[in-house]
Amino acid sequence: MKIRILAVGQKMPSWVEQGVNEYLRRLPADFKVQFEECALGQRRGQHSGAKAKEQEGQTLLAKIHPKERVIALDVQGKAWSSETLAEQATDWRMDGRDVVLLIGGPDGLADACLQRAEQRWSLSALTLPHPLVRVVLAEQLYRAWSLISGHPYHR
């Protein structure tokens, strides 16, 4: 099973890249997580946010393979504890399909992406800035791996 994170937005501040890399580099080869960025949509004029979100949605959907299990990061999704995430990740492995996690841009994920997703996962009831979501997601995936493998990181 391969896990990918597809995130809207490029050229993040260095603390975001460092934070994400810090956790993803610790993962072993059999739980590798690849990170891919997609361009922000154009934001100019009235209704620009809605249009940009649609554009971003098309870009994300074009990068998803037909057989991948899609999970949308969505504030209105289901809250998972770290233990639940570890159980989910174990199920993903048993299922055998590759997994792709989607992070939206400043205006969120397009409806088409939410509809394509099999699961919607909320990290918190708080709306978080998308750069911070990347770091939290990377850390939680590392924590899930540590739970599955009995590594002392999780306590």
Ligand X SMILES: C[S@@+](CC[C@H](N)C(=O)[O-])C[C@H]1O[C@@H](n2cnc3c(N)ncnc32)[C@H](O)[C@@H]1O
Residue 33 has, within 13 A of its CA and on its CB side, a CA count of: 27
| 122 lies in the binding site for ligand X (CB under 6 A) | yes
Give the H or E element holding residue 3.
strand 3-8
Residues constituting the chain: 155
User: Among 29, 20, 24, which residue's Cα sits nearest to residue 136?
Assistant: 20
Say if residue 73 carries a ligand binding annotation: yes
Which is nearer to ligand X, 31 or 74 (by Cβ)?
Answer: 74
| Contact present, 69 and 95 (Cβ < 8 Å) | yes
Q: Which of 43, 128, 148, 154 binds ligand X (CB under 6 A)?
A: 128
Say if residue 123 carries a ligand binding annotation: yes
Which is nearer to ligand X, 99 or 109 (by Cβ)?
Answer: 109
| 133 lies in the binding site for ligand X (CB under 6 A) | yes
Q: Which of 70, 103, 114, 144 binds ligand X (CB under 6 A)?
A: 103
Q: Which of 15, 124, 151, 153 binds ligand X (CB under 6 A)?
A: 124
